[in-house]
Amino acid sequence: MVNGLMNPESTLRMIVAYVGTPFSGWQIQPNGDTIQERLETALARLLRQSTHVTGAGRTDAGVHARGQVAHFEVPRAQVVEDLRRALNSLLPKEIRVEKLTRARPGFHARNDATGKHYRYLLLAARKASPFMAPFVARMSGGPLELARMREAGRQLLGEHDFAAFCGAGSAVRSTCRRLTRLEIVRRGDTIIFDMEGNGFLRHQIRNMVGTLVEVGQGKRAPLSMTALLRTRDRQQAGATAPASGLCLMQVHYGSRAEGRS
């Protein structure tokens, strides 16, 4: 404890909320304003050194988050609440660090995640409330029968190869994932899809929503999902639902990785 060398690095874990509308998604890219880059730029300024921020999920352009989780290393003991306030004052109004805590050494926001909860808000009216407009999406094609969509959804629950719902440009070793929750409820003129699983492929949720909408509109049979999964063919599934309806609600961790050391 004579100098900083006794404790050269410390891992911090943040929960971040953002309105995705103005951003090109989470992940840094050459031409685009991204949430990751905003966070790294603010941290570099505060910590006076370049800092890499790793998020649990790489949300797409226009997708929102209430509970994205990320980790990064800080060079020495920081007063985390001071750092959180300073970060929030540098970040634009569309991004807020909700929580900043010390994690156990080695905590990794993406690799340690055991599950994620996403919510999709689908508008069941011609026009959204002006107050909700940035957070809901509309799909054309007529009214939806929720009972049909729920029946189709039940076939997607459990461990499956979700290749048929995987967007192009994804480089994953396996397209198998476990879907543990798929609930569809109507609240006013909004249909809420809650989906949880141990992980999701690129565009998987938006492709599942788009396909379930076709079921709800009577364009697909509710019992066609199992056969669709078996095709492993993205061309067989429905359209990709718009990004604006999607929100990363929460990332789950096993108790060991919860990370308040």
Q: What minimum distance in Å lies between the beta carbon of 140 and a second copy?
A: 13
Q: Which residue, 52 or 85, is less far from a second copy as judged by CB? A: 85
In whole angstroms, give the CA distance from residue 56 to residue 250: 10
**Binding of residue 100 to a second copy (CB under 8 A):** no
**Binding of residue 133 to a second copy (CB under 8 A):** yes
In whole angstroms, give the CA distance from residue 160 to residue 177: 6
Whether 213 and 121 have beta carbons less than 8 Å apart is answered as no
Quickly count: other Cβ atoms within 10 Å of residue 15's Cβ: 19
Q: Which residue, 96 or 108, is less far from a second copy as judged by CB? A: 96
Is 233 part of the annotated catalytic residue set? no
Q: What minimum distance in Å lies between the beta carbon of 95 and a second copy?
A: 6
* Sole binder of a second copy in the list 58, 96, 150, 178 (CB under 8 A): 96
Tell me the pairing of strands 190-197 and 95-102.
unpaired
In whole angstroms, give the CA distance from residue 225 to residue 227: 5
Catalytic annotation, pick one of 60, 82, 161, 233: 60
* Sole binder of a second copy in the list 69, 128, 149, 257 (CB under 8 A): 128
In whole angstroms, give the CA distance from residue 221 to residue 193: 19
In whole angstroms, give the CA distance from residue 123 to residue 139: 8
**Binding of residue 66 to a second copy (CB under 8 A):** yes
**Binding of residue 126 to a second copy (CB under 8 A):** yes
**Binding of residue 95 to a second copy (CB under 8 A):** yes
Query: Taking every pair of C-alpha atoms in the chain, what is the biggest distance, in angstroms?
Result: 71
Reference 179, options 165, 200, 164, 163; nearest CA is 200
Whether 194 and 247 have beta carbons less than 8 Å apart is answered as no
Stretch that binds a second copy, among 99-107, 120-128, 171-179, 220-228 (CB under 8 A): 120-128
**Binding of residue 63 to a second copy (CB under 8 A):** no
**Binding of residue 85 to a second copy (CB under 8 A):** yes
* Site residues (vs a second copy, CB under 8 A): 17-19, 64, 66, 85, 88-89, 93-96, 126-131, 133, 135
**Residues involved in catalysis:** 60
